[in-house]
Amino acid sequence: MGAGTRRLTRCFVLLCCAALSPACSSGTGSETAADPGRARLIAVITPSHDNPFFKAEADAASARARELGYEVIVNVHDDDANKQDQLIDVAIARKVSAIVLDNAGADASVAAISKARAAGIPSILIDREINVTGVAAAQIVSNNYQGATLGAEEFVRLLGEKGSYIELVGRESDTNAAVRSRGFHDVLDKYPDLRMVARQSANWDQREAFQKTETLIQANRGISGVIAGNDTMALGAMAALKGAGLGHLVVVGFDGSPDAIGSIKAGEIKATVLQPAAYIARLAVDQAHALITKGSTGQPEKQAIDCELVTQANAGEFGIFQRISKEAR
């Protein structure tokens, strides 16, 4: 038993050394920026990659950072503010030059970002804002409200300004769910002949949207359409409508995910609103680079990037969360 314990202890010590060594070696240098001979490090932290949106963000950010000569560490916080806090601790310990962060909560993330700032590490936020300014170096988000009004206007046009509809809302504790719903209603509520007959949260989830739509159309078979706060819910609603022989109804989503664009091309869901997530992620890395090399991002802290409407007419012009440039096509 004594030998076993000793061996375990030795393993543990070795592991600790391995974990600490990058921090140790860079600790002797003059902090972060002033060492051009060695590749600097950028941390990219996003929610789980099981959503293609966040994977696209992380992929675009790390590709751009490598182009600019950085090393990259990519991590996911699974929308857990505590895990995010630990990942930021690790980033501080490894003395990264900047953190590109899609955060785990508008209030819950503030302390962790302040901690990085106190350690001299700037954070560039993407996709989601936080509820304070002056802590992050930049907050670049897609304009969810503008996007929602775009989607709602197309929904109204497709319905011919009349009829009843169901709204599927995202997770109600998520700021973007509320902002998108407000954008939808600021347009939809202007039309007196348009009536919302049911509104349910499906928590951004495809299966939940499928089941809830199946149940809701029992009470509302006369509806003309479903408007959903994201694409996975729109696809779930579409599957339920098809199963009920109502596949011709108007379904509009939000995000511009590759699956939704595929569905639009196949003539199933009618429209979605594309968030330029890949573009925003690259922009964030560019601004981090400007900050590291020139001392300023050259931009205001809060930046909103407009979304684009995707319909059957223009679906071919879009790739993975971005418009495909003419040359690439």
**Nearest-approach distance from CB 51 to another protein, in angstroms:** 7
Residue 9 or 173: the one with the smaller Cβ distance to another protein is: 173
Q: Are 194 and 163 in contact (CB under 8 A)?
A: yes
| Residue (258 or 279) nearer to another protein, CB | 258
Please state the closest distance from residue 205 (CB atom) to another protein, in A: 9
Residues of this chain that bind another protein (CB under 8 A): 48-52, 55, 172, 198-201, 203, 206-207, 210-212, 214-216, 218-219, 232, 235-236, 239, 243, 259, 262-263
In order, the DSSP letters of 101-138 are E--S-TTTTHHHHHHHHHTT--EEEESS--S-SSSSSE
Q: Can you name the residues that pair with 323 across neighbouring β-strands?
A: 318
- The CB-of-68 to another protein minimum distance in angstroms stands at 25
Cβ proximity to another protein: between 201 and 322 the closer is: 201
Decide whether 113 or 278 has the Cβ nearer to another protein.
Answer: 278
CB nearer to another protein: give 175 or 200: 200
Taken as a whole, the chain contains a residue count of 329
Q: How far is the CB of 156 from another protein (least distance, A)?
A: 23
For residue 129, the minimal CB distance to another protein (Å) is: 24
CA distance 135 to 117: 7
User: Which segments of 146-249 are extended strands (E)?
Assistant: 163-169, 194-201, 225-228
Pairing assessment for the beta strands 271-274 and 308-311 based on DSSP bridges: antiparallel
Which three-class secondary structure state does DSSP give residue 34?
coil
Helix (H, G, I), strand (E, B) or coil at 326: coil
